[in-house]
Chain A
Amino acid sequence: MEINLIIGLSTLAIIKAAPLVFGALCGLLGERSGVINIGIEGMMLISAFTTFLGSALFNQWTGGIFPTNLSLLVGLFCGIASGALIAALHAVLSIHYKIDQVISGTVINLLAVGITNYVANVYIDPTHLSGVGVFPTIPIPILSDIPIIGPILFSHQPMIYLMFILVIFMQYLVFNTPMGLRMRSVGEHPRSADTVGIDVNRTRYINVILGGIFAGLGGAIMVLESVGRFQKLMTSGRGFIALAALIFGRWTSNGALGSALLFGFSEALGVRLQFGDLNHIKVIVIVSGLALLGLGLFLLIKKIKEKEINIKKYITILILIVLGFTIMVGSNYIKFPSISIPIEFLGLLPYILTIFVLTGFVRRAKGPAAAGIPYEKQ
């Protein structure tokens, strides 16, 4: 029973993490080049909205003669385009007009809420515009048959695969290519980047607008691979959690994926527990066991990578692993009282986790040094 539960939770965690990953990649591009973007939430909301409108209207106007997937692709295009457009606004405000990037992001969030609610009230709700559907699940042949890993990793809707590809691509782009080096230098020390002939503001424009495309994907996936239609305020803070994932992931693509998965897992857990067929206490015990085990393994790999030879340093790690494992196995033999936790509290998990993450890790991780400062050419 536990193994199925963990497979189910992990699969759901990846699905829930996907919008966060796209959002975090948007933030990554901006901040690596020195532009903070707290408007990701608004960008994702607008993109979700245009994705829905694009796909639904295309389907309506063509009378449904094209396959569903084509309508969805049109929606996806609209989502990406609007993401880029809103990002361009952020870029113009914060790069050209040099207004405080945090205020510029707030403007975008306000406008996004206003515009989407407005159109939802005057158009979507009265006309009962219905969604076209969602992308189908495409299991990858052979790979999806592998036990445990197959269903978790290789049996998803297409944008999830796209997410994994983009994460790897971005990690390579930012840290292994000349373009990545240029953008990082602009984010760390724009003055010296300028001295060696890099156009600081041009790099920032490109990055912010590219980032908008990622935010667009993040908004689109919420419509195209989950609910299938637009709901008012449907991002519900995911844009901000994406930023926390970026910071937790230390401004790297892989790190953002890892931390988004952690947030996704906590969200998945909240969702899964609401079904009511599980003993809440038992699941929480199992998951905390899993968390200890995961932390232990993570530290172990890190220490081995650092070629740590001091045996004493391994003892705590060993205790963590053994403890985690014991809790997971031991939970089978204990009868837990069935206390159900109110749904509102289960929904708190990602938010509380975000705060913990920020308090525990930011101090040790330094962001790009020039993030937040408009560049003045001398």
Chain B
Amino acid sequence: MDNQLNKLNPIKIIYISVIVPILAIFTALIISSVVIILSGSNPLIAYSALAEGAFGNLNNWIETILKTTPLIIGGLGVALAFRGGLFNIGVEGQIFVGSIATVIIGTTLKAPAIIHIPLTLLAGVLAGAVWAAIPGYLKARFGAHEVITTIMTNYIATRIITWSIGVNGPLRKTTSFVPETNSLLDTARLPLMISDTRLHIGIVIALILAIVVYILLFRTTLGIEIRTVGLNINAAKYCGIKVNRNIVLIMAISGGLAGLAGAIQVMGLSPYNFTAGFNVGYGFDSLAVAVLGNINPIGVVFSAFLFGAMDAGARLMQLRAKVPVDMITILQGLILMFVAANQIIRGIYRIQIQDKKADKVNLSQGWGGGSK
């Protein structure tokens, strides 16, 4: 595959990997505008409000970056699992579990910030990793398909956490009338990048992680193992790769990233606690981000930025054009569809150049004995 790639002109490679997603987004915007017109709003006003809400001024930019941060980390988690042939839909639940562990350590432990911050982050990572390793183990040991088990663990996490911050729940802030936990101690909060704004250092962590995951996947032995398991599980076994151990490990790393995304959300954003409805949807957005980014860590950064901008701009769109924020979900679904089925886009816009043959990962492998 790589040889074939090298023969192509590098400019053409960039052209292919950029032009198709851009056209996919464009087409999705066109189709969504039909929906907006049907519901009696003006798509031009909606989209300009969307853009202004995302990039209008410094605060909008900061909001976009803040929305991008968890999507990068979550998207990296999903992309890494995809590379290993695993479909981690459980990111949503892993983010929740990570957030809750963060809250527990961040509110109870007494330590100076230099120790408290890393420990609190670590709590989020570990909790997410363990929560994701469960479906990983169930897959490795019993062949239970991770798509279903991770969705189930999402529901389980949501319900238990709803209970824990509900009336009389163990983590409920007793003086509060809404379901929320206590705020983190000052020593567990992430430092700000620009004072008197909401911009914390999470984005730096996210970008570093993107590079780390890239190196992990493409420059280390473990990365080769992960990708081999993803491409052909039988070949991986034949090579002597411990497939089962790898499945659990991949899920754990993936969930650890998701847990970290949750931890950063709790530690970086005022009021530094966990409330009902907090972070909802990041898990599923991460999925779309990973696919849109061609399950490549660098691609994930760009697609997360796109989704983050849409999320950040959605509120102004709702205010100004009376278009509900759910429009964003439709847009994301359409983008995902056109990127995955890029032949549609190639057909519409008559793109002749052949796609690089991307590493084909069959996500439905292990479906109760399916594709072998």
Which residues of A are at the interface with B, using a C-beta cutoff of 8 A?
36, 38, 93, 97, 99-104, 106-108, 110-111, 113-115, 117-119, 121-123, 236-237, 240, 243-244, 247, 251, 342, 344-345, 347-348, 351-352, 354-355, 358-360, 362-363, 365-373
Contact = CB atoms under 8 A, between A and B. Distances in A.
Contact of A114 (B89, B149, B322, B333): B333
B234 interface: no
Contact of B337 (A93, A247, A251): A93
B367 A36 contact: yes
A119 to B, nearest CB: 8
Contacts of A373: 362, 364, 370-371
Interface centre among B327, B332, B364, B371 (most CB of A within 10 A): B364
8 contacts: A36-B370, A93-B340, A114-B326, A114-B332, A122-B322, A244-B152, A358-B148, A367-B369
Nearest to A42: B333
Interface residues of B, number: 57
Given A93-B341, A118-B39, A367-B370, A107 B148 contact: no
A367 B371 CA distance: 9
Contact of A344 (B35, B153, B166, B332): B166
Contact of A348 (B39, B159, B336): B159
B363 A100 contact: yes
Contacts of B332: 110, 114
B336 A372 contact: no
Contacts of B284: 110
A108 B340 CA distance: 13
Nearest to A367: B368
Contacts of A251: 368
Given A348-B159, A354-B152, A118 B370 contact: no
Contacts of A360: 142
A240 B287 CA distance: 17
B364 A100 contact: yes
A123 B39 contact: yes
Given A244-B148, A358-B138, A115 B368 contact: no
B48 interface: no
A359 to B, nearest CB: 4
B302 interface: no
Contacts of A103: 291, 336, 340, 363
A368 B369 CA distance: 8
B275 interface: no
A36 B138 CA distance: 20
Contacts of B224: none
A202 B118 CA distance: 57
Contacts of B279: none
A113 B324 CA distance: 13
Nearest to B151: A240
A244 B343 CA distance: 32
A358 B145 CA distance: 7
Contacts of B143: 362-363
B13 interface: no
A100 B340 contact: yes
A351 B236 CA distance: 32
Interface centre among B39, B145, B152 (most CB of A within 10 A): B152
Contacts of B337: 93, 104, 107, 111
B336 A359 contact: no
A373 B152 CA distance: 25
- 4 closest Cβ pairs, A-B complex: A372-B364, A114-B329, A110-B333, A114-B330
Contacts of A370: 370-371
Contacts of B329: 110-111, 113-114, 117-118
Contacts of B159: 344-345, 347-348, 351
B23 interface: no
A99 B333 contact: no
Contacts of A366: 368-369
Given A355-B138, A355-B149, A369-B372, A101 B333 contact: no
B288 interface: yes
Interface in B228-279: none
A102 B163 CA distance: 32
Nearest to A368: B370
B324 A122 contact: yes
Interface in B306-352: 322-324, 326-334, 336-337, 340-341, 343-344
B193 interface: no
Contacts of A113: 326, 329
Contacts of A368: 370
A122 B39 contact: yes
A108 B164 CA distance: 32
A118 B148 contact: no
